[in-house]
Amino acid sequence: MSHEAVISDAHAAYVRRISDNMAEVDLLVPDMHCAGCMQKIERGFAATIAVDSARVNLGNKRVHVRFYSSRSTLEGLIERLSDIGFEATPFSAEMAGSQHDKAARSLLLAMAVAGFAAANIMLFSMSSWFGFDMQGETRTLFHWISAIIATLAIAYAGRPFFRSAFAAIRVGTMNMDVPISLAVLLSLFSSMYEASVGSSHVYFDAGVMLLFFLLIGRYLDQLMRAKAGQAAGNLLALQAVPATVIDEGGSHHVMPAEQVEPGAAVMVATGMRVPVDGSIIEGNSEIDSSLVTGETMPEAVGVGDKVFAGTLNIAAPIKVQATSGGDKTLLAEIVRLMEAAEQGRGKFVRIADRLARAYAPAVHLLAAFAFAGTWWWLGDAHEGLIRAIAVLIITCPCALGLAVPVVQVVASGRLLRGGIFVKSGDALERMAKVDSMVFDKTGTLTLGRMTLENAEDISEHDMALAAALGRSSNHPLSLAVAGALPCEGLPEFDQINERPGEGLIGTRMGAEYKLGKREFVGVDCPDAAVGPELWLVEPGREPVQFIFSDALRPDVAETLKQLSNMGIKLHLLSGDRISVVAEVAETLGLSHWQGEVQPQDKIAYIEALKADGQTVAMIGDGLNDAPALRAAAVSMSPSSAADVTQTAADFVFQGDKLTPVVETLHVSRRTHGLVIGNFGLALGYNIIAVPLAVLGFVTPLIAAIAMSASSLVVSLNAMRLRFDGSK
């Protein structure tokens, strides 16, 4: 199959090309609802040579698939899912919302039917129990009326479980709905048998009540998942804001934001959300960026300032020149970061997956043991069947499957509301174990917004050369130089190379120019500048010094104090001059610091801390910090960091404050505690409940209540994180 197969695919609009032979797509799988389903899907795709990787997100029932477009199409992927027992459709925001609403309504209606039927069956059962003078024919009539009600109710309300169980059995696998369906049907058919032989005791109410409580648990679980992921969902919805585009003739046209081309002029009225990323070309206003950055105070903006999709224009109309729209905006990237975090696999998730995988064979063996043992020991096959049904019900792994994912979704949602984006599924686990933090200085402890202090002492010629070199780098000092002059009219260089942590080398008309640290450019000057500096070296001319100032983040001292109180050892590593780093370290009370540190030195420093038994978090923003971020156990980066640095980091935080570091550490520790607690609740429930069911102390009805209650307790325990304040 050729690469063009993807283009001819009926759903080609949902497929995104990565390279000539690689593509990716998101699939919506509504019937996925447990850790066993997640692992079954991933194993199914792993066995397909056409698939490079598949990551499952249980929270929003999506599967992200990277596949070889020369080997498969989107229809082929959907067919593969069907082969392993799951129906899927290409994902879209509108479809996801409608699917969620449809599933919720279906569960609610099924729950209502089961509850209504159970109440009516209970009336007939009570009449049988307390009607001491009731004749056998009347009791039998009541039993068969109950049988009709139960059969109709189970046929309708049991569809979510029966469909899932049948799909699994059809492809020769098992899932958690197989024993549930078996338990419901066994309770129904055994009661029909008892009614047919005129027995005084039947269990139609137990089978229907079982479904009722199962549906309550599944419905509330779906609502809790939706609530936990509400923050990311809100951001996703903001991508649908329409854009008012102004053409060259001045006419206004309204179109979807994803159709706006870069360079187009977009009018944003007062009270409207910005539909695209771009720069203001006309007007002054205030922008509320709280949903994106976590900052509660509006920010004043004017011509030349950047604005982002999803932020709210609250003061006056502005005209914005679009730089990106649709899935290329900051808002879209935030959503992708959230989804990537939820799709991750930490140690606890892998443990839960392995336990859930062993569930199906174990529970059927236990049920068979309960049936055979009771029949052999008591000589009562009917009692053995009742015990087997109770075992099938009470050992449902719902609580175990929810133990980790629901906590991760709640934690990621809470961090998102604070402007912190989790990029790795196990980042929270790793952050919880941190006892040492290494900070970069420029752009991390400081704002990284450098101001050129001695511009009046520098010639226009030197300024132009430095600006032309500086615009090729994302380093704060280079950006400050580049921003001092307009881009037009700057000299052109044949080639510019950057050495991380040192500087830039440019070649022009055969001559070599350097802009960077004094050691890099070869300047021997004993007089150190008070603040950060760069030196420009041009062949045949004296070196030129550029002096900058950079303010500390407003809350840095309080943040470092809180981290120290939380038991964190603090370290400062910077490529800046020793005198500057020493001044910052003294101001902040840091005893462990080093200046003029190269990227390899930062890695060596972190490795030394790790060798000493410490778990290290690295917080940095520069290009030279990327290797150190990878070397650390876990890492954070501000949103102003270089792209490669953000890619290397496990967390990215917005805004000018450093408080997100404290919040991330606190939430990670609380998440770790809640996951341990959930494992304890889920395993403790099974340790207590299963022996009771095997020994006959638990009826099928009580088993249904206990199983549903365990899932709700685990979910509610995770939801505590939403309301837990930082320490």
DSSP notation for 552-611: BPTTHHHHHHHHHHTT-EEEEE-SS-HHHHHHHHHHHT-SSEESS--HHHHHHHHHHHHH
Residue 6 corresponds to which tokens in the numbers above?
């993807």
Q: Is 527 a catalytic residue?
A: no
In the sheet with 420-422, reading across from the earlier edge strand, the strands are: 420-422, 651-653, 634-638, 616-619, 436-439, 569-573, 593-594
How many Å apart are CA 357 and CA 227, to the nearest integer? 27
The active-site residue out of 9, 440, 550, 621 is 440
Whether 180 and 154 have beta carbons less than 8 Å apart is answered as no
How many Å apart are CA 590 and CA 587, to the nearest integer? 8
Tell me if residue 519 falls in helix, strand or coil. Answer: helix
Q: For tokens 């050992």, name the residue.
A: 395
CB 25 within 8 A of CB 16: yes
* Longest Cα separation, the chain: 118
Interatomic CA distance for residues 573 and 599, integer angstroms: 10
User: Is residue 22 within a helix (H) or strand (E), and if so which, with residue range?
Assistant: strand 22-28
Distance CA 213, CA 208 (A): 9
Q: What are phi and psi of 462, to 5 degrees?
A: -70, -40
Beta carbons of 574 and 442 less than 8 angstroms apart: yes
| Dihedral in degrees, nearest 10, Cα atoms 112, 118, 123, 126 | -150
Residue 260 phi, psi (nearest 5): -75, 125
Distance CA 40, CA 703 (A): 27
> Number of C-alpha atoms within 13 angstroms, CB side, residue 263?
1
Q: Which three-class secondary structure state does DSSP give residue 63?
A: strand
Region of 379 on the Ramachandran plot (φ > 0 left; ψ -120 to 50 alpha; else beta): left
Token pair in block for residue 697: 């102390």
Query: Whole-angstrom Cα distance, residue 77 to residue 309?
Result: 32
Tokens encoding 66:
């990277």
641-667 burial, b if ≥16 CB within 10 A, otherwise e? bbebbbebbbbbbbbbbbbbbbbbbbb
Partner residues linked to 130 by β-bridges: none
Give which of 341, 361, 503 is closest to 422, Cα–Cα: 341
How many residues are listed for the chain in this entry? Answer: 727
Say if CB 661 and CB 437 are below 8 A apart. Answer: yes
How many whole angstroms separate alpha carbon 17 and alpha carbon 681?
Answer: 44
Could you tell me if 128 and 66 are in contact, meaning their C-beta atoms sit under 8 angstroms apart? Answer: no
59 within 8 A of 223, measured Cβ to Cβ: no
β-pair type (651-653, 544-549): unpaired
Give the active site residues: 440
